[in-house]
Amino acid sequence: MNSPVEQIKERLSVEEVVSSYIKLEKTGANLKAKCPFHNEKTPSFFVSPARGSYYCFGCGAKGDIFSFVEEFEGLDFKGALKLLADKAGVVLGEFNKEKESEKERLYKAMEESSLFFIQNLRDNPEALSYLRGRGLSEGSVQDFKIGFARESWRDLYQYLKTKGFSDPEIERAGLAKGSDKGMYDRFRSRIMFPIGDSSGRIIAFSGRIFGEEVPTLEGVGRPTENVGPKYLNSPDTPIFNKSLVLYGLDRAKDSIRKNNFSILVEGQMDLVLSHQAGFKNTIATSGTALSENTVSRENAVSNLGLVRRLSENIILAFDADKAGVSATARAGRIALSLGMDVKVANIKEGFDPADLISKEGVPAWREAIRESKHVILFILERILKEVADDERKAGRLIKEKLLPYVSAIPSSIEKVHFVKKISDASGIPEVALGEDLKRVNENLKFEKDEIQEAKEKHSSLFRKDYIERRLFGIIFWQRELPKPVVDVSGVLQKLGEFLNGGVDKILEKLGSSKEDLIYEAEVFYGGDVDLKKDLDELLSNFKEEYLKENLAEKMKELRLAEEGKDVSKSTEILKECQIISNKIQDLKNGRIKKL
């Protein structure tokens, strides 16, 4: 029987999958596009329908439909498998419970918790009435799996124990906390909103406070205003990083692609009501955190980095109060630095999107979106309104608060455009604004270089880690078979030849993910696959990525030697760089011949 991977590949072509994310153009037997994984003006990203693969001659991105979805969506293998299986109509079998990994157990704990909260809401007329009063329809409540955490100290904890989850699992999932009095629920007396990853798996919760009192450790209620934030969110866990997710992105991504813009709101109520009003391209920051960079320190694509891949156009629609304006300014600068076109919705003072939709109606919300203006013009308008006729203060605020946003724009033409706009509105000469902008650019240069380095490092590390996982997954898998298909010791010997004894370190590093890697290998290579051929290709790809990593390190050494004016060392390192570069080119040439 064919493996799930083979079944999916039979039903979904690489052209069909990739073209659902980016626009492809026919070029002979292949298709081409601008690479979604790095910025480029001339298309260097090629898709080969015959081989079922893609390759970018610019950044080296390569793989099949699974690696594409993993990198584009920011998912792990199981997430990509689930997403593509749903798309292809392939039913995935039950995972071997004896080999369930820690992450798999945490996903199940989150799913069970969601079902528990949903039932709680059904049994609580007061909470249901509150949601109806906010304008939510029954369909929206069900669609977004909104639930309720009762006023109980160990309600969820005791339920999860009956389902076989251990205390460490419940605590690692961020659902309960340990204390000297025992375990207790993190969420109590709250409307519960589950947060999903791109494939729809529940990875976290955001809970809105409900009612006048919530229980304390001693069981005595305290007034709501003394129990913490209005919204309580899951902590970072092995399956949730608040900088890598946006609430509702799993539901909004198709609409964002279709409409070619996203709407970013602040709260869950804002998002649900916007979707209910027909704006299904809405996403929210609630329960998550916007990342300053395209990628995180862990080299995973940030939340706005993922949104940018879907569309470069975004409309910010936060509350029209002081905090909302501050959040708009911050989000705007981050989005601008990612090369996005950023606008701000025209929301009435004292309103948030949820209020606008429920009180003024859908047409008012549509009008607020239609009348959105560029974030730079939005901030400029507020500065000029704040200082009135004080030109000197206006100049100072424009330099301090507005020019950093102009500096964040990657396009020089766009910068000139906005400098003229600011000059026309404020009366400050373009030349003066240009001089101040140069100073701002210099001050922010280090930050921009850091972001660019992070982008390049992410692209390289994703591909190296992806190949590494596949390669060592096969090794772990074949080691456990009574009759392995490949010579594992021979493969390890080949790896050792260019890793200089680093094989054991990799085996140790990946040991904690062993069961996940074996599962991936079994699913991916368990059918009628030419495993030896695929293994040779993985070894070649891994060697190339390893050489690229070595070259990057040597280039850093070369820069230091040149800065120190050490001519002999610079010459020696340059020769080493040339040797490594030639080896990389030989591997690339061999791959090109196979295309």
Structure-block tokens of residue 445: 């240069």
Strands 202-209 vs 231-233: parallel, antiparallel or unpaired: antiparallel
CA–CA separation, 34 vs 32, rounded Å?
Answer: 7
Q: Which residues fall within 8 angstroms of residue 385, CB to CB, at 6 or more apart?
A: none
On the question of pLDDT at 516 being above 70, the answer is yes
- State whether residue 287 is helix, strand or coil: coil
Question: Could you read off the pLDDT of 38-68 as tens digits, one per residue?
Answer: 777 788 899 989 888 888 877 778 889 999 9
Under the banding of pLDDT at 50, 70 and 90, the label for residue 461 is low
Class for domain 1-93, per CATH?
alpha beta
Q: What is the CATH number of domain 98-233?
A: 3.90.980.10
**Looking at the predicted structure, is the pLDDT value of residue 226 above 50?**
no
Averaged pLDDT, 210-223 = 47
Distance between CA atoms of 53 and 388, rounded to whole angstroms?
Answer: 59
State residue 557's pLDDT score.
87
Q: Which two tokens stand for residue 124?
A: 């609580």
Rg over alpha carbons for the chain, rounded to the nearest Å, is: 27
Instruction: Check residue 386 and give its pLDDT.
Output: 84
Burial of residue 536 (number of CB atoms within 10 Å: 0-12, 13-18, 19+)? middle
Residues of the chain with CATH 3.40.1360.10: 241-371
C-beta of residue 347 within 8 angstroms of C-beta of residue 320: yes
How many residues make up the chain in this entry? 595
Nearest to 469, CA basis, from 78, 177, 93: 78
Place of tokens 């083979």: 6
Using the structure block, give the residue that is written with the tokens 């911050």.
330
Q: What is the DSSP letter of 358?
A: I
SS (H, E, C) 83-129: HHHHHHCCCCCCCCHHHCCHHHHHHHHHHHHHHHHHHHHHCCHHHHH
Does position 223 have pLDDT exceeding 50, yes or no? Answer: no
Q: What does the pLDDT average to over 172-193?
A: 91
Structure tokens at 424: 């026309």
Cα separation of 201 and 180, whole Å?
A: 33
**What is the tens place of the pLDDT at every residue in 71-123?**
888 888 889 999 999 999 998 876 555 556 788 899 999 999 999 999 999 99
Report pLDDT digits (tens) over 110-119. Answer: 999 999 999 9
Domain with CATH 3.90.980.10 in the chain: 98-233
The per-residue pLDDT for range 441-458, each reduced to its tens digit, is 887 665 555 455 545 554
Q: Span 200-204, mean pLDDT? A: 93
Q: In the chain, pLDDT over 90 holds for what percent of residues? A: 40
What would the pLDDT profile of 356-413 be if each residue is shown by its tens digit? Answer: 999 999 999 999 999 999 999 999 998 998 887 777 888 899 998 899 899 888 888 9
Q: Which residue has the higher pLDDT, 244 or 33?
A: 33
Residue 305 identity: G
Average pLDDT, the chain: 84
pLDDT of 218 > 70? The answer is: no
pLDDT of residue 230: 80
Q: What pLDDT is attached to residue 127?
A: 94
Give the model confidence (pLDDT) of 312-338 as tens digits.
Answer: 999 999 887 777 777 788 888 888 888
Per-residue pLDDT averaged across 31-37, rounded? 89
Banded pLDDT at 592 (limits 50, 70, 90): low
Distance between terminal CA atoms of the chain? 29
The CATH number of 241-371 is 3.40.1360.10
What are residue 202's phi and psi, to 5 degrees?
-75, 125
Averaged pLDDT for residues 247-265: 93
Residue by residue, what is the 3-state secondary structure of 520-553? HHHHHHCCCCCHHHHHHHHHHHHHHHHHHHHHHH
Instruction: Report the pLDDT averaged over residues 472-496.
Output: 87
Q: Quick one: pLDDT at residue 522?
A: 81
Q: What is the pLDDT of residues 141-170, one digit of tens each?
A: 999 999 999 988 899 999 999 999 999 999
Q: Give the C-alpha separation, 334 to 562, whole Å.
A: 34
Q: What is the mean pLDDT of residues 339-351?
A: 89
Angle at 330 between CA 328 and CA 335, to 5 degrees: 90
Structure-model confidence comparison of residues 391 and 547, the more confident one: 547
| pLDDT at res. 212 | 52
Q: Write out the residue limits of the CATH 3.90.580.10 domain(s) in the chain.
A: 1-93
Joined tokens for residue 456: 């390049």
Query: Is the confidence at residue 219, as pLDDT, over 50?
Result: no
Question: What does the pLDDT read at residue 291?
Answer: 54
